[in-house]
Chains A and B, each alone.
Chain A
Amino acid sequence: MYIEPKVEEYRPKEHLKAWLADPLGRDQYVTYRGDDVEIHWHGKASQCEVAYSKKNWTELYVSWSPMGTYFATLFRQGVRLWGGPSWEPQQRFAHPLVKLMDFSPCEQYLVTWSHDPITVPPNLPQGPEFFSPEDEGNNIAVWDIKSGHLLRTFPTSLIEGEDSSMKKQMQWPALKWSLDDKFVARVTPGQQISVYELPSMGLHDKKSIKIEGVIDFEWCPHGEKDRDEAEKAAKSGKTPKKAKENMLAYWTPEVANQPARVTLLEFPSRRILRQKNLFNVTECKLYWQNQGDFLCVKVDRHTKTKKSILCSLEIFRIREKDFPVEVVELKDTVTDFSWEPKGERFAIVSSNDPNLGNPAPGITIKTDISFYQLDRGKNDFRLLRTLASRTSNTIRWSPRGRHVVLATVGSSTKSELEFWDLDFNNEDRREGQAAEWGSGIQHVGSADHYGVTDVEWDPSGRYLATSASAWRHTLENGYAIWDFRGQVIEKHILDRFKQFIWRPRPPTLLTKEQQRQIRRNLKEYSRTFDEDDAAEESNVSAELIALRKRLVDEWNAWRVRCKRDLVDEKRSRGQRVDGDRHAEEKEEIEEWIDEVIEQIEEVAE
């Protein structure tokens, strides 16, 4: 018999970006400690509070979506997404024994991975949200976040080790998204890159890009310039002459008389934009600057004897005609590379420590940190400054650039944090003086967080969080928040502390012009903030005044007691006390007055 389904009552959903409208303009962060997950508000000291907390909210770890809209937790059954001011469940993805997950850049899709191949037991419910028999044996699943539907599953592709005895390693993320969520690609090492179109998840052009030997690739990020241009075009109503295409970079090692090679490929046209041959290559790593202006390929080279390793940085300038490539040669091994966000600078960690590559307990590798900058005059990248003989192994640029933190992470003996400002005398330079090369670099502070395992800037670039996670060691777990000068704001040592993540923010909605206006009228805006601060301060001072009054009252009461005791004490000893003295001081004075009335002298004859 047909039963008419009940129409569910409409329940308005909460706004998923409500936190951005916080009247105090605070950021959020999540902490995971023991079984407790807490969402915190972070602002001025008086504005910090726990926004939400829940026990057993996750079984593995927690994650934010790239723009902070969703909060993800992992359970045996799969991934759940939460959001809105009351953290209501938003979506669930049934991938049993899920271990890894990854969001697409625009938060439309989710990728999950489990070590255990997918099985479809007969009692599994059917529907677009569930695995079906053809997914069996696969490990990776792609989901649509809004609908919760499963889009496609894949087997894990493994990078073959040089010899078969080497453990096969899986790359994560296994699927790489173009920055507009239009494509997702995976590499089959040594053979091909397969690009799938969204939302259908069908193989683009029905064939993969065959590239012999291909090891790795990266999509080019979209810069603000690209976005602005696209918006402008959309506003003017004209369809742009040619929509800017996506781009990806990949590299292939030396194979059969063919040199190693880095290639820039336009997509979906599949046009090769630029290729560069490289020799004696051991390994390449691709680093895009976050605006897509530059691509740095860090090339580890070996000498003919394969005994020593050199390093070169091949820097592609993407915005210029024919993609000029510049090479920075280095003698030491580069262990970390990082572009300044939205900038023309990068920092590297290099080392020639003989212990490099042979990690031993108690040994901290000696490193040098170098900053490079694009010299506009000469149009090449030049060394700004090298900070020699350090132990820092981690570079963390502020998301707004300019400030950078160098940290020694994962060492049992060193845990220093160095705070640097690369435009310290920025103000002077604006006055037209040609600043000396590299003179703007200024050390602004040092700090130490014993046992630090993670270092992360907040989305505004004003604060830095460091944490010591129990996943790595069990000494003084906890977290600390510093300002950009390295002054500690708060520090908590918390047993079984595991994870700290700032909630990301979406890109600003203000146009360039509006941002410029704000910067120009900063004094106007800051006045209202100053007023708030002053009001708050007077609140605090009201509290302080009350405290002082209390202290004085306590003191005075105690003094009165003391004085009374003292009087009693002295009286009991039969001594005079001040109060008594007045009475006793009334001395009786007897006055004898002789009055001579008459004096007669008689002469006795």
Chain B
Amino acid sequence: MTDTIERSDTAGNDRVLDHLVVRFAGDSGDGMQLTGDRFTSVSASFGNDLSTLPDFPAEIRAPAGTVNGVSAFQVNIADHEITTPGDEPNVLVAMNPAALKADLHRLEVGGTVIVNEDSFDARDLSKAGYVDSSDEPVNPLEDGTLNGYRVLKVPMTSLTKEVCEPLGVKPRDAERSKNFFALGLVSWMYTRPTEPTEEWIGQKFAKNEQVAAANTAAFRAGFNFGETTEAVGHRYEVRPATLPAGTYTSITGNQALSWGLVAAGQLAKLPITLGSYPITPASDILHELSKHKHFGIRTVQAEDEIAAVGVALGASFAGHLGITTTSGPGVALKSETISLAVAIELPLLIIDIQRGGPSTGLPTKTEASDLNIALYGRHGESPLPVVASKSPADCFHAAIEAARIALKYRTPVILLSDGYLANGSEPWKLPDVDSLPDISVPFATGTNHVDDDGNEEFWPYLRDPETLARPWAIPGTPGLMHRVGGLEKADGTGNIDYTPQNHERMTELREAKVAAVTADIPPTEVEGDVDADVLVLGWGSTWAAIDAAVQRRRRVGVKVAKAHIAHLSPLPPDLGDLLRRYRKVIVPELNRGQLAHLLRGTYLIDIISVSKIQGLPFKSREIEAAIDAAIESLGADSEGGAS
């Protein structure tokens, strides 16, 4: 059951597709991200639902023409609501032999391959590793490698050079416009509007008219090539989706997260100070927030990850919403300061855009293997709330939720996103700004305790009885001067206190405060069959693949339900009871079963852990297979009797 084009429309018109997955692949210098991005934007404004997967190497420029240097952008466009960038592309655009070598195996059986024929010369074939046993180049366009695929061989480089020549563009420069030729051709094949792209080229390259002219010419040439060359065949159409009414924009996870942070500052009525150190795939948040100073946002590019979180914590102490953004290696470095934030009980947001680990690992590839470090990666008993976003657009709301918890409970909160969400994009129905929650909390303004002699005094660790949060008294407030620090504090006064009972009490209070967050967690939503025996439980970016998998199994009559949790610490209060309602619980994770272990330990429920650790998101097919296996094992369980 592959992710192929599934139907003809009711009129029997075989040229209408319900969805289409295109993968643009080329050398890092070929502009594939830009090309994919344009195709996405045009499709978004055309009204398709969509989901994208940029997939690029860690090296800025790996040696040109090699498989290591291949950069790709996959986009799924549909006439209905979708959540994933598609398991298998229907169309692969390969700008050079290396791209074909790297990505052909991803293409659906019988899919369409569009190659830049000019690049399939002896030199590029050798660089891509298309050689025989005596190291002689072998051309996959001729040796049967592509048997069974629909192949379009287009001399994109030479056609682009040709069309640019009259513009006075040097051949070497003209060659750089060949990605627009590819975009033009694909735009024709799949009936994309051309005006938005031509307009965009005019704006983007306004400062260099010749480049704008070359790109436009190449784009039109590609489009016309499709129209006039019989070999290209039919045009296909993916009609607009019927999405819920509203105003939409196209957004990546990192941009949505950044805007969520901006919104959190506004909703909390607090200025923001971001301390950050550049790290893939989180740096875009630093870039984005640096643009929005007029929202009262200060950004500090610190000397290292430790300083970055130090700056954020200092800002929180001073009365700002202190934020730090990073990825796994940075979380490890920040660990000691996060523990200090646990001890001094101040709001602090730590954003972890997860990537493949350990160590530098796969910096540009996705993984969700920082759940354990988020939950446990601190010394001492240092619990804190952990929240995860599930889709690019959801990063906006997850950021607000994480900030809300941090402020209300005066605690560091870790928000987990990942590389897939960070760089992936989807249409987002814009929320009504006025409907966003007020997350502001008051600063302490006066004394809160009277001593035995009747003197009014300020106790920095006198807690709110409901939330257990301590007062947030910021510098500049007369009469509330106090000292906080990493040494254990006496319950109430906050003075240094090493007594055994006090340490135990403070440890329990810090734990109870984090547990108190459950009061705000809404009931866990379950979708799917009410009488299902199998539940798929997810967290983070697995949401998309789980959603697609469950829908597809249900479409063929399989009974299955799904739930997705945003709160990883504390867990939703209803989760244990919910899990016990099912005979089998599947937890797919882009790690080695970190949530599965937690659930087993917390609820003493057996969990079927489905693990993927390839730097790539799940395909829905992989989760479908797990659902089928779980259902099959139910049969085996009954047959096997008491086992």
A binds B: no
**Chain A: residues with CB nearer than 8 A to chain B?**
none
Residues of chain B having any CB pair with chain A under 8 Å: none
